[in-house]
Amino acid sequence: MISLVGGRIIPAFTQNWLKLNRPERTVRLPPFDRVDLASVAATVVFGVGFVAWPDSRLTGWAGVAAAIIQMVRVARWQGWLARQEPLLWVLHLGYAWIPVGFALLGLAILKLRFLFDSGIHALSYGAVGTMILGVAARVALGHTGRPLRASPAMTAAFLLLTLGALCRVLSPAGSGWLSASVGFWLAAYGLFLARYTPILFSPRLNA
């Protein structure tokens, strides 16, 4: 779902922001094309193999291939150009956890079994958790008539969640990493709750 939907909204949001905030940049982000189709197809192939033949070396290599094509895909969106807006770079960062997770799982299936849990955490805590927070923060502002700009609190939340994802990926190395990841997760979503509860219970600004 992230590969399909995120692959449409992230470059579109980035393109619109660049037009409004960096008109001197003549960058035109690539449309949904063969690279995008290949990335979605590679994801589906790896997903099917992961469920049906989890111990097959072909599945492992499919995971590595899916990671490479997904990394190429997210790099084409040039998220570094929107680094001034946390509401955008958090989406690029969240998507980038997908190739990280695929690579770790692919390598785990091939030989490095100790990377398996880290791959699962990269996809769940990293990709899913980051995309939920990033999209929720943006959508809540847009639907309440507020400017699409991240507050300092939400910028901190995005950074805390990223640190939490890194710690969760490293958690198989020791319980301390797991405890840190839980703390960062709670802090990140706590900031979201504190910042957005008043917004979501208030009338639209342009109502």
- Which structure tokens are listed for 4? 């399909």
Number of residues in the chain: 207
Q: What is the mean pLDDT of residues 124-147?
A: 93
Q: How far apart (Å, rounded) are the C-alpha atoms in residues 65 and 11?
A: 22
What pLDDT score was predicted for residue 137? 94
Q: What is the mean pLDDT of residues 31-43?
A: 87
Taking only the tens place, the pLDDT of each residue in 194-203 is: 999 999 998 8
pTM score, two decimals?
0.91
pLDDT level of residue 26 (50, 70, 90 thresholds): low
H helix count then E strand count, the chain: 8, 0
What pLDDT score was predicted for residue 121? 95
Taking only the tens place, the pLDDT of each residue in 146-187 is: 999 999 999 999 999 999 999 999 988 777 899 999 999 999
DSSP string computed for 20-43: HH-TT-------S-HHHHHHHHHH
- Region of 134 on the Ramachandran plot (φ > 0 left; ψ -120 to 50 alpha; else beta): alpha
Integer distance in angstroms from the first to the last C-alpha of the chain?
Answer: 33
- Which structure tokens are listed for 17? 């922001």
Taking only the tens place, the pLDDT of each residue in 78-122 is: 888 888 999 999 999 999 999 999 999 999 999 899 999 999 999
* Residue 104 and residue 64 in contact, taking contact as beta carbons nearer than 8 Å: no
Q: How far apart (Å, rounded) are the C-alpha atoms in residues 101 and 116?
A: 9
